[in-house]
Amino acid sequence: MVSAEESFEIICRGAEEILLKEELLERLKLGKPLRVKAGFDPTAPDLHLGHAVLLTKMRQFQDLGHHVMFLIGDFTGMIGDPSGKNETRPPLTREQVLENAETYRKQVFKILDPDKTQILFNSEWMDKFTSADLIKLAATHTVARMLERDDFHKRYTSGQSIAIHEFLYPLLMGYDSVVMKADIELGGTDQKFNLLMGRELQKHFKQKPQTVIMLPLLPGLDGIKKMSKSLGNYIGIDESAEDIFGKIMSISDETMWLYFELISRRSLTELKELREKVSAGMNPRDIKFLLAEEIVERFHNREEAIRARENFIARFREGALPENMPEVQVSAGENGISILHVIKAAGLTTSTSEAGRMIEQGAVRIDNERVTDKSTLLHSGKEIILQVGKRRFAKVVLS
């Protein structure tokens, strides 16, 4: 049995904002299963690791014994974009909605527990919601309140048009919470306004308002921009074991820790231990192996994860690393040492200025990651693989 305080810690993990935290703790203390809502768009069922942040949080709720509701917002999906301006949003047929739901199901059950997941379609209640009901719902909020939403505010003040039905959608999303009697709603930080609408409408309908848990947007492979299909910096849930493994191995150490926090099932205690190992000198690359294995195991299985790791190591050895690399020891001093000096010291160029030119040409890599900044400093206590051009390698021990 997990205590309310332990549950609270698990649920707060990685959350960017919780409204209200004290409400959440109170609810957990009741010791009853909570009704947890998360809404999904019925048009784009191709999921990537960014979606896994939300799904992982849902899974945590399931593991703690709560009731998780996976809501597919098919009602508006079947309307499409009524203005006709957005050609990427044609109205969906009921068949397409069910087909997309099936695609979702295949993917999300790699993370969620199928036995503990209720899949809902909001057309179930919205098809019975009359235009008179909608008018009454619209009367609960003011135009000014709606124009407070960031994107509406920006569009209105910059003279970009907002069609009136766009004011109705947040209300409909909030109304779903009323029908579903949600105790908790999960969503991205970009959904804050809509999530709070659920709270307001529940109050209007004399329900206890849902606690809103906002999760951060996962950065993509570049570690900077949010993961998205259109930016190409994503890891698809349906990708091959090898691709997922390789992509995770390509992220920066910093991004790795974020992924650990947001999508790993390792406990916070375990993560703390891993960080301590790195501080004690363990190569972060070896920790990244653990993350890549965990994710591949989740989306495929244990055997695939082991095979993907072996293949990755083999390819790394064959393709990129020569069997016998020269090993050089370089003293980094207290303040670190310029990469230009390390390249020259390792004998990979004859001068620091040549080293600089190679960096400018994008020909220098450390642990297979390209170096773009000539002023990069390297610090003591690490062992790196330094590469210049295609064939010049050195293992450098920074002391």
Number of residues that bind its own copies (CB under 8 A): 36
Residue from 109, 129, 193, 312 in contact with its own copies (CB under 8 A): 129
193 is a site residue for its own copies (CB under 8 A): no
CA distance 287 to 280: 13
Stretch that binds its own copies, among 43-51, 74-82, 276-284, 366-374 (CB under 8 A): 74-82
Q: Please report how close the Cβ of residue 132 comes to its own copies at its closest, in angstroms.
A: 5
Work out the number of other CB atoms within 10 angstroms of the CB of residue 236: 17
User: Where is 214: in which H helix or E strand?
Assistant: strand 211-215
Amino acid at 232: G
The residue (of 166 and 367) whose beta carbon lies closer to its own copies is 166
Shortest separation between residue 141's beta carbon and its own copies, angstroms: 5
Contact indicator for 71, 120 with CB cutoff of 8 Å: yes
Residue with tokens 């307001």: 200
Find out whether the peptide bond into 28 is cis, omega within 30 degrees of 0: no
- 83 lies in the binding site for its own copies (CB under 8 A): yes
Nearer to its own copies, 203 or 226 (CB): 203
State the nearest-atom distance from the C-beta of 178 to its own copies, in Å: 15
Locate 69 and state its tokens.
Answer: 């509701």
Confirm or reject binding of residue 139 to its own copies (CB under 8 A).
yes
Residue spans of beta strands (DSSP E) within 216-370:
327-330, 337-338, 364-366, 369-370
Nearer to its own copies by C-beta: 117 or 123?
123
Please identify, among the stretches 137-145, 226-234, 291-299, 346-354, the one whose residues bind its own copies according to the rule CB under 8 A: 137-145
Nearest residue to 218 via CA among 189, 191, 197, 192: 189
Do residues 227 and 233 make contact, with C-beta atoms less than 8 angstroms apart?
Answer: yes
> Which of 10, 78, 184, 359 lies at the binding interface for its own copies (CB under 8 A)?
78
Nearest C-alpha neighbor of 169 from the set 93, 82, 230: 82
Among 134, 217, 321, 363, contact with its own copies (rule: CB under 8 A) = 134
Q: Using CB under 8 A, pick the residue from 79, 179, 325, 385 that binds its own copies.
A: 79
Binding-site ranges for its own copies (CB under 8 A): 75-76, 78-79, 81-83, 126-127, 129-136, 138-144, 146-147, 156, 159, 161-165, 167-168, 171
